[in-house]
Amino acid sequence: MSEVSTGHADSRPYGRLADTPEPAGGADYERLAANLRHLLDAVGGARLPNPLVSRVADQLAELGAQLAPFAVAESERVAGRRFDLPGRGQTMVPVLHWDEADAHHGRCRLTFGRHYLGGGGAAHGGAVPLVFDEALSAVANRDRPMARTAYLHVDYRAIVPIDTELWVDVEVDRVEGRKCYLRGGLHHGDVLCAQAEALFVELRPGQP
Ligand SMILES: CCCCC/C=C\C/C=C\C/C=C\C/C=C\CCCC(=O)SCCNC(=O)CCNC(=O)[C@H](O)C(C)(C)COP(=O)(O)OP(=O)(O)OC[C@H]1O[C@@H](n2cnc3c(N)ncnc32)[C@H](O)[C@@H]1OP(=O)(O)O
């Protein structure tokens, strides 16, 4: 069976949230997420022969049925809450490999696989704010009470190539009470592909 390497040397962007002695799902959860991402890229980039489509459709249905009995409440789920892993154990946002992260700024690398292809070799326009929301929220929430995105403005400056390593920089512009204003840039080498401005608002106690 082919599967992808998860080798990495990330600094830990989520600070003390990553300190979980025995994380749910165990050490293999990272492989589970990586292999699922690999599958999505393989499907997104392929033209499969019809008999293989039928076989894979059956296999995926079988796998889904095998996992369905393990559904839990949101507070118990594992995907997205593995702060000890790159990508948090979720598969919606590309994995952000953080090289620098604190409560004021961050810098990370990512690659949009073929799952994210929009057209013309470029990532889907909706995938870009997805990455900004993830990257900016990691900095906005670092060492601060939990905050939600109130707005996220994105300017597209150049196409965002898939299958190419990109980098994101994030910085906190200012904090005013519950409000944290941030800026971000998505870069391909020296080219600024997109830039973002966002406001994250700290949740009040008891706010869902
Ligand atoms: C819960 C998600 C966070 C999870 C974090 C977990 C761990 C953290 C660690 C790492 C994070 C890493 C990954 C997390 C992954 C993803 C998270 C992505 C974050 C999101 O993807 S999250 C979903 C999208 N997000 C929403 O679903 C928000 C819907 N919405 C609301 O929930 C409310 O709307 C809220 C709470 C935003 C504010 O509501 P509220 O009632 O608490 O406060 P209020 O309205 O009074 O605003 C207070 C002050 O902000 C100003 N203000 C508000 N909105 C503004 C706007 N749009 N423009 C300009 N100013 C604005 C007001 O003008 C006032 O300003 P002032 O105080 O000066 O008068």
In whole angstroms, how far apart are CA 125 and each of 41, 117, 129, 193?
A: 17, 9, 8, 11
Q: Does the pLDDT value for residue 69 go beyond 90?
A: yes
List, for residues 163-175, the tens digit of each pLDDT value: 999 999 999 999 9
Atom of ligand 1 nearest to the CA of 13: 10
Helix (H, G, I), strand (E, B) or coil at 194: strand
Among residues 107, 79, 81, which one has the least CA distance to residue 167?
107
Measured at the alpha carbon of residue 145, what is the angle toward residues 142 and 149, in degrees to the nearest 5?
80
**Total domain count for the chain?**
1
- Rounded CA-CA distance 46/98 in Å is 30
List, for residues 15-67, the tens digit of each pLDDT value: 777 888 789 999 999 999 999 999 999 999 999 999 999 999 999 999 999 99
The pLDDT mean for the chain works out to: 93
DSSP H or E segment with residue 151: strand 147-156
CATH of the domain at 169: 3.10.129.10
Q: Does the pLDDT value for residue 11 go beyond 80?
A: no
Q: Does the pLDDT value for residue 8 go beyond 60?
A: no
Residue nearest atom 12 in ligand 1 by C-alpha distance:
138
- Is 10 within the bounds of a domain? no
Range of the domain at 166: 93-202
Best residue among 110, 153, 201, 204 to mutate for probing ligand 1's pocket (most ligand atoms within 8 Å of CB) is 201
Q: Determine the distance separating the centroid of ligand 1 and the alpha carbon of 94, expressed in angstroms.
A: 23
- Is 153 within the bounds of a domain? yes
> Is the C-beta atom of 179 inside 6 A of ligand 1?
yes
- At 10 the pLDDT is 52
- Is 52 within the bounds of a domain? no
- At 9 the pLDDT is 46
- Is 87 within the bounds of a domain? no
pTM above 0.90, yes or no: yes
> Is the C-beta atom of 208 inside 6 A of ligand 1?
no
> Is the C-beta atom of 92 inside 6 A of ligand 1?
no
- Is 123 within the bounds of a domain? yes
Q: Please report, rounded to a whole number, the percentage of residues in the chain having pLDDT higher than 70.
A: 94
ipTM: 0.93
